[in-house]
Amino acid sequence: MTEQLDELVRWKSRRPGPLSGVTVLDITRVVAGPFCSMLLADLGATVIKVEHPDEPDYARTFPPFVNSEEEQLSAFFTQFNRNKLGITLNLKSPEGKDLLRKLVAKVDILVENFRPGTMEKLGLGFEALTSVNPRLVYTAISGFGRTGPNSSKPAYDNTGQAAGGLWSMNGYADRPPVRVGTIIGDLSASLYAAIGTIAALREAEQTGKGQVVDVSQQDSVLTLTENAVVRYTAQKEVASPLGNEHPFVRPYGQFPCKDGYVFFGGYTDKFWAITCAMFGEPDKATDPEIDSMEKRFDPVVAETKVKPLLERWFSAYTKAELENIAGDQVPLSAIKTIAEVVEDPHIAARNMIVEVPIGGKLIGMFGLPIKLSGREEEPNEKAPAPGEHNGLVFAKLAGITEDELEKLKAAGAI
């Protein structure tokens, strides 16, 4: 790393992490991209979020909001952009393009989520940028990827869910399909992008040669469809909505209790025998109608014999009581609301709700699920305001003086 870049890292006072010393240019918006770079930032990388000076990331307008004395700030935006530096750059202006090239020469990774071809039209595609920095890892997240007949199509999260097959599998058999209740297309693409980026970075460090990491929302969602692909290729069986049921494992699903619902997955003979004894009817484990996994897997048997038995047992208890009864003996978990999850002592023990500064307050947000034994987790930093670190980043990485900075502002480049 250059002396300037080391100084930039020191100024940021990042906590130690496996990606400490790695610098990332984040030219992404909303979630499919910002979540990827957030993971890299949480792991110690210096991430520089790039926004258009006149059109900052519109996720800044997404609720919920936290009101400070000066302004209204998006907690949604903060959650996916914590621990980053912020600059503004107009990539359509000649000065902005030139400035990006200067930054690229000093960084390790660039992440973008434009439609394929956009960066090339700007003269800032992979080939152009690697002429400046041959070691550059260029991560591109899009709806359909950089190759194939659909590569130029616009896409959102729901596009990935629809085109990747997951939407058609979700919901109930007697109703229209239902989208997964979160932005799984954006999130899964970001996760794969982070994995691919780190893999490409390792290769660049070994060979001195960068490459494109090409991640598609459709591809990412497809890998989340469990056994649907092989059910079709092996048996020509098309997966369809099953509600809360598993395609072949039973009992394995949602069951009502006194104050809500629990997930119970005691389908093996061992777990089934323990459950029967636990609820005072050990003889049910040897009932010839339901005494084996194969018998309990039968849909009719599961619906008419097993389900009523479990509902009778569980209906006498609350979610918490059932979790206490099950303990560490059988797989049973309360189906929790987000409020219950946020207040869960186990989640607290895992440091999965972290406090992030926003508008002079500390707001709880999900933490990093990657726990490394050689690293202590440290406090998170706020998301940057648009262009908050223009002076610092451009001075340290591009050698821009204060006078030049003013000229670039006047030209609309930053």
In the set 157, 186, 214, 219, the catalytic residue is 186
186 catalytic? Reply is yes
Tokens for 345, please give them. 């002592």
**Residues 207/273, Cβ–Cβ less than 8 Å:** no
Give CA–CA dist 150/240, Å, rounded. Answer: 25
Strand 109-112's sheet: what is its strand order? 84-88, 46-51, 23-27, 109-112, 137-142, 211-216
CA dihedral 387, 393, 395, 396 (to 10 degrees): 170
Give CA–CA dist 218/184, Å, rounded. Answer: 11
**Residues 276/283, Cβ–Cβ less than 8 Å:** yes
Q: Hunting for tokens 């992979």 — which residue is that?
A: 126
DSSP symbol at 318? -
Give CA–CA dist 213/194, Å, rounded. Answer: 9
Give CA–CA dist 239/176, Å, rounded. Answer: 14
Give CA–CA dist 211/204, Å, rounded. Answer: 8
381 phi and psi angles, rounded to 5 deg: -100, 155
- Catalytic residue ranges: 186
